Amino acid sequence: MPKIQAPKGTRDFYPADMAWHRHLLDAWRRVSVRNGFEEVDGPIFETLELYKVKSGEGIVSELFSFRRTGGDTDFAIRPEFTPTLARMVADKANALPKPVKWFATPNFCRAERPQRGRLREFWQWNVDLLGLDTPAADAEVIFTCVDLLAELGMDATQVRVKVSHRDVVKQVLLTLGVPEEKLPGAFVLLDKRDKLTPAEFTKQAGGLGLDEHRVERFEEVCRRKYRSGDLSHLARSLGMTEPPEDLALLDEQLRAFGISDWCEYDLGIVRGLAYYTGTVFEVHEATGVERAVAGGGRYDQLIELFGGPAMPAVGFGMGDVVLTNVLADKGLVPDDVAPRPDAFVFAASDEAAAGLPAVVSQLRRAGLHARMSYKTTRNVGKLLKDATGCGARFAVILGDDVQVKNLETGEQKAVALDGLAGAVTD
């Protein structure tokens, strides 16, 4: 039969790949927990209607959806976590302690064209804080994102957190002549502008009321970068005597959290999805080679949309594909993330080989990671190379006695069987 390939846009995780994958998910979980977030998850598929509520009919073409034979309900494999989170919060909103601080690390599927940084199946870190409407909540969520980047070895010279505010951009667009009813389309266009040629962007902007001169004015106002602590320049470019209050308060909190050097204000960041209501942000690799590493913002009306009470909310998502690309490009994907054996056990004689299973099981019952040789050779030199090759800390050599060799220092000594576990943990 013909060779069967994995579905396009998916990945096979061989041991080394899986070791990195687990390392990344563990980092997401570790950073979330130390920042006070609790882990949640939901079903891998939901009713198709759930995603329509949040994103409209247009989302259907982007999903892997299905209907069971003889059934009358359409389902879809989850493409994101926010609708599930909103449903879960709306269902138990009155019983949940406030604020709600949740994180999740699920896998998702999207029916789109695979390309660098974007696959059909991927894992994503979602961090959400609900129940607080203060800028401190926005800053804490951004801090958690920065905390992860620093945990993985990046610094403020390598990635930038680009912060914006939908209401500020809205006022700029209204001032430039975009009608109120065309604002949703304007946000979508601005969000995808980097994927369009300048000529195509100008053409589509014209349909929203932005002629070439007004596009240039938007570029002048909204594509400049403003550093934290220097919002006076932003205010002047907007024709204001003082910076927008929401951004000024957020900037104060970012400085209080000690991450202002990671952040800059870029009103070209709008996040095209209609459910965002205030602060929005994206994390970009500093050279601009990759698409956004993470993105999020405020969505203060989404819980109501799913039948829950009014509840302010802010959060972000970070995908594993782009993040891994960035880390790999910067040499920050370590080679030693696979679980390291405590001991590699082998027999130096045929007589000693009979005791191999008993020694390995003794070590494993003591909670140690013990591997053993399945080879019939008794060449100690070759077997020691196998022990070193799998990264073991100690080699346990069974012969006339039991020898333990520290593979880092080269020290070797004889030990009693009942003291073997202790010798491999020293």
Q: Which range of residues forms the domain containing residue 190?
A: 15-329
170 and 262 in a single domain? The answer is yes
pTM: 0.90
Domain end position, chosen among 329, 356, 378:
329
H, E, C per residue of the chain: CCCCCCCCCCCCCCHHHHHHHHHHHHHHHHHHHHCCCEECCCCCEEEHHHHHHHHCHHHHHHCCEEECCCCCCEEEECCCCHHHHHHHHHHHHHHCCCCEEEEECCEEECCCCCECCECCEEEEEEEEEECCCCHHHHHHHHHHHHHHHHHCCCCCCCEEEEEEEHHHHHHHHHHCCCCHHHHHHHHHHHHCHHHCCHHHHHHHHHCCCCCHHHHHHHHHHHCCCEECCCHHHHHHHCCCCCCCHHHHHHHHHHHHCCCHHHEEECCCCCCCCCCCCCEEEEEEECCCCCCCCEEEEECCCHHHHCCCCCCCEEEEEEEHHHHHHHHHHCCCCCCCCCCCCCEEEEECCHHHHCCHHHHHHHHHHCCCCEEECCCCCCCHHHHHHHHHHCCCCEEEEECCCEEEEECCCCCEEEECHHHHHHHCCC
Task: Give the CATH number of the domain where residue 374 resides.
Answer: 3.40.50.800
Tell me, yes or no, whether 224 lies in a domain.
Answer: yes
Statement: residue 38 has pLDDT above 70: yes
192 and 279 in a single domain? The answer is yes
Say if strands 100-104 and 159-165 run parallel, antiparallel, or are unpaired. unpaired
142 and 27 in a single domain? The answer is yes
Residue 52 near residue 63 (C-beta atoms within 8 A): no
| Dist. CA 349–CA 355, nearest whole Å | 11
Q: Mean pLDDT across the stretch 134-150? A: 97
- First-to-final CA distance of the chain: 53
Of all residues in the chain, the percent with pLDDT exceeding 70 is 98
The structural domain count of the chain equals 2
Tell me, yes or no, whether 398 lies in a domain.
Answer: yes
Of all residues in the chain, the percent with pLDDT exceeding 90 is 69
| Dist. CA 342–CA 363, nearest whole Å | 9
Residue 270 pLDDT: 80
| Of 167, 145, 168, nearest in space to 263 by CA | 145
Environment class of residue 384 by beta-carbon count within 10 Å: exposed (0-12), middle (13-18) or buried (19+)?
A: middle
Q: What is the band of 202 on the pLDDT scale with cuts at 50, 70, 90?
A: confident
323 and 375 in a single domain? The answer is no
Statement: residue 150 has pLDDT above 80: yes
202 and 308 in a single domain? The answer is yes
Q: Mean pLDDT across the stretch 247-265? A: 94
62 and 160 in a single domain? The answer is yes
Task: Give the CATH number of the domain where residue 243 resides.
Answer: 3.30.930.10
Q: What is the band of 326 on the pLDDT scale with cuts at 50, 70, 90?
A: very high
Tell me, yes or no, whether 335 lies in a domain.
Answer: no
Q: Which residue has the tokens 């709600």?
A: 100
Furthest C-alpha separation in the chain: 90
Q: Two tokens at 310?
A: 């009014």
| Dist. CA 215–CA 60, nearest whole Å | 32
Statement: residue 189 has pLDDT above 80: no
Q: What is the band of 221 on the pLDDT scale with cuts at 50, 70, 90?
A: low
Q: Mean pLDDT across the stretch 107-115? A: 93
Say if strands 159-165 and 74-77 run parallel, antiparallel, or are unpaired. unpaired
Domain end position, chosen among 305, 329, 353:
329
Pick 198 or 103 by higher pLDDT.
Answer: 103
Domain end position, chosen among 306, 329, 352:
329
pLDDT digits (tens, 9 = 90+) for 65-92: 999 999 999 999 999 999 999 999 999 9
358 and 233 in a single domain? The answer is no
391 and 413 in a single domain? The answer is yes
| Of 233, 311, 298, 249, nearest in space to 270 by CA | 298
The neighbour count for residue 402, using CB atoms within 10 Å, is 20
311 and 404 in a single domain? The answer is no
Tell me, yes or no, whether 261 lies in a domain.
Answer: yes
| Of 334, 308, 190, 425, nearest in space to 396 by CA | 425
84 and 215 in a single domain? The answer is yes
Q: What is the band of 303 on the pLDDT scale with cuts at 50, 70, 90?
A: very high
| Of 55, 228, 245, 201, nearest in space to 146 by CA | 228
Pick 15 or 177 by higher pLDDT.
Answer: 15
Q: What is the band of 177 on the pLDDT scale with cuts at 50, 70, 90?
A: confident
Residue 312 near residue 298 (C-beta atoms within 8 A): yes
Statement: residue 169 has pLDDT above 70: yes
Q: Which residue has the tokens 């009155």?
A: 94
40 and 118 in a single domain? The answer is yes
381 and 279 in a single domain? The answer is no
Residue 79 pLDDT: 95
Environment class of residue 14 by beta-carbon count within 10 Å: exposed (0-12), middle (13-18) or buried (19+)?
A: exposed
Q: 195 to each of 28, 79, 190, how far by Cα in Å?
A: 29, 21, 10
